[in-house]
Structure 1
Amino acid sequence: MDSGVIEGGLNVTLTIRLLMHGKEVGSIIGKKGESVKKMREESGARINISEGNCPERIITLAGPTTAIFKAFSMIIEKLEEDISSSMSNSTATSKPPVTLRIVVPASQCGSLIGKGGCKIKEIRESTGAQVQVAGDMLPNSTERAITIAGTPLSIIECVKQICVVMLESPPKGVTIPYRPKPSGSPVIFAGGQAYAVQGQHAIPQPDLTKLHQLAMQQSPFPLAPSSQGFTAGMDATAQTGSHELTIPNDLIGCIIGRQGAKINEIRQMSGAQIKIANPVEGSTDRQVTITGSPASISLAEYLINTLIRGYRNGRELMLSATPPPLFSSSITLRSLSAKGNQVFST
């Protein structure tokens, strides 16, 4: 298959996922959505933009190849216009290249790079675009970002060749798509209440207050009260710690969820890092390590316990900012502290 096949369509349906900064997305959407509406109508492609207050957004293009690349060309042209506009008020003498990122399953990156980097070198030389494949997967996903920079024509040709490779080498295994995490306002807990910090003001957050109180009640390692409060999972300078849960093997599946959906949801809601150890021969339990600020650890533990209680009561629960009723549980939680391991039961 060559780029001519891609360009001609031949009933091939493609999906391209672009990762963009909020300012770029705003430009593509346009005033009252006029710009993206025009792109949809003129290209015939489906163009979806992820929601949420995130510094990054995902733009998904789907449809026949001819429609996809028409929409893609219009997006590139818009980015080029924005660069030209910014140059009119700049003292810079050289015009920067158009740069964008596409998101692809990590399992396809090997084929894209090629043995000894031969394939990606070929794409660079034939299109004139700069192409860089990220070494690490995007957070909480099995996808990587590919950064492409150059002229509009070189970028379009580069993406066509990347699509050829992806069509010839389908993804292997399960793909967990990257979902940008909302930036959110810093949340401070003080005096048992939750507040969202907006500028110089602290706005009460009733739902977060309730969730925090329940997390404190459920925490196997109670947090010391503080008149100063602390930031939950959103402040990199907040004091971090590590807690370990001992969970039966037959309950691990309900925590991970289908294609890792539940564990990713817990990570995103709590802001904590969660690692599930590999099974140990002869053991009926698995170790789950939670790392983060005191509040993010407590919240992650609460959400894990909520899933387990729902599973034991024969129903799957949806995690939300308003937690479901609590159920009884006999799971043993093992908490790590500076004083050593302490075992608690809830």
Structure 2
Amino acid sequence: MPLQEIGSIIGKKGETVKRIREQSSARITISEGSCPERITTITGSTDAVFRAVSMIAFKLEEDLGAGADGVSAGRAPVTLRLVIPASQCGSLIGKAGAKIREIRESTGAQVQVAGDLLPNSTERAVTVSGVPDTIIQCVRQICAVILESPPKGATIPYHPGLSLAGLERDQKAESAQGKKCPALPVLSTVSLLMSPLELPAWQDCSGCSWLTPSLPFQLIGCIIGRHGSKISEIRQMSGAHIKIGNQTEGSSERHVTITGTPVSITLAQYLITAW
């Protein structure tokens, strides 16, 4: 959501979002940051989620429909952008667009699935527009579809405003000057949220960046996969070079070396910890 909409949902001193949480019984979290948009995550039972979605949609309609004097100017269309793993979007679109056409016709809402991935993620934006009644029914049907088609592989979540490309340029500039590459903020965030593994340490680099986390021996098989299928997929998705060392005597861990640009290393680290 844009910052203006987020401010309306939060309300003065957080009163609005507190009321939505209490009345819906859903857990609602809003992403941090000063970027132009934020992500609202709603978690709970199906009924709790839809109560929260309903309250948010009607609140947005109320804001859009109010004139300059605060008097309602009639029903105004509301637009919500959902963030969905790209691997589930095929099921949502359906063969030759049959499923998304069915959702549009049965709910009366406008639904559009973005063709491109959201920056630095494996997710896409799905835009839903209409009056709150149609949006609620549309979101319900979208959720039903993605519940029946779980995401495939690891999902790299979208972080609004995160510019890995800019960070990479800064790190390359520092490397050229012989300085130590700093840790990417996203790496710490992903590791803390997605994995119990100890945060890896960044090393001095020149031209390329590399880190060397260690993984418990019992997890190595899961990362490699049958005939090396998983680690090949991680290499392909991230663009990083990954080398797993031999087990040393008396140790329950194996050394993993990841080499590449800060962006590719970040993605590889996320995929390894997510698996």
Indicate the SS of the match to 2:118: coil
Aligned partners of 1:76, 1:26: CA distance in 2, in Å?
14
| Structure 1 residues without counterparts, runs of 5 or longer | 1-19, 184-207, 221-243, 255-274, 280-285, 291-299, 308-346
Q: How does 1:230-241 map to 2 (within 5 A)?
A: none
Q: Quote the offset at 1:75 in angstroms.
A: 0.2
- Given candidates 6, 31, 38, the residue that maps to 1:57 is 38
Post-superposition offset of 1:276: 3.3
| 2:66 aligned partner | 85
1:168 corresponds in structure 2 to 148
8 Å CA contact retained: 1:123, 1:158: yes
4+ residue segments displaced more than 2 Å = 86-90, 93-96, 211-217, 244-247, 251-254, 275-279
SS of 2:83's partner is strand
Number of aligned residue pairs: give it. Answer: 196
SS at match of 1:109: helix
Question: Offset at 1:181?
Answer: 2.0
1:122 to 84, 90, 102: 102
1:39 to 1, 11, 20: 20
CA-CA distance at 1:87 after TM superposition = 6.5
TM-score, length of structure 1 as denominator length: 0.50
Residue segments in structure 2 that go unaligned for 5+ positions in a row: 164-169, 181-205, 214-237, 243-257, 267-275
CA distance in 2, matches of 1:182, 1:287: 22
Residues 253 and 88 from structure 1, CA distance in 2 versus in 1: closer, same or farther, beyond 3 angstroms? farther
SS state of the match for residue 51, structure 1? Answer: coil
Task: Tell me the amino acid that sits aligned with residue 276 of structure 1.
Answer: G
Contact conserved, 1:73 with 1:156, CA < 8 A, in 2? yes
TM-aligned CA deviation for residue 246 of structure 1 = 6.1
Contact 1:142–1:175 (Cα < 8 Å) also in 2 = yes
- Name 2:7's counterpart in structure 1: 26
- For residues 47-88 of structure 1, give each alpha carbon's deviation from its aligned partner in whole angstroms, at most 9, with x where no partner exists: 011111111101000001111111111000110011011465
Pair 1:276-2:239 in alignment:
yes
Structure with higher Rg: it is 1
1:218 counterpart residue number = 178
What are the Cα deviations for residues 229-285 of structure 1, in whole angstroms up to 9, with x where unaligned? Answer: xxxxxxxxxxxxxxx9467xxx5876xxxxxxxxxxxxxxxxxxxx83789xxxxxx
Letter in 1 for 2:46: T
% identity of equivalent residues: 58
Shift of 1:97: 1.1
- Judging changes above 3 Å, is the alpha-carbon distance between structure 1 residues 101 and 117 closer, same or farther for their aligned structure 2 residues? same
Residue in structure 1 matched with residue 199 of structure 2 by the alignment? none
- Name the SS for the 1:23 alignment partner: helix
Q: 1:55, 1:182 within 8 Å by CA — same for their partners in 2?
A: no
Paired position in structure 2 for 1:72: 53
The corresponding residue for 2:84 is 104
Contact 2:176–2:207 (Cα < 8 Å) also in 1: no
The 3 A distance-change label for structure 1 pair 174 and 212 is closer
Q: CA deviation at 1:39?
A: 0.4
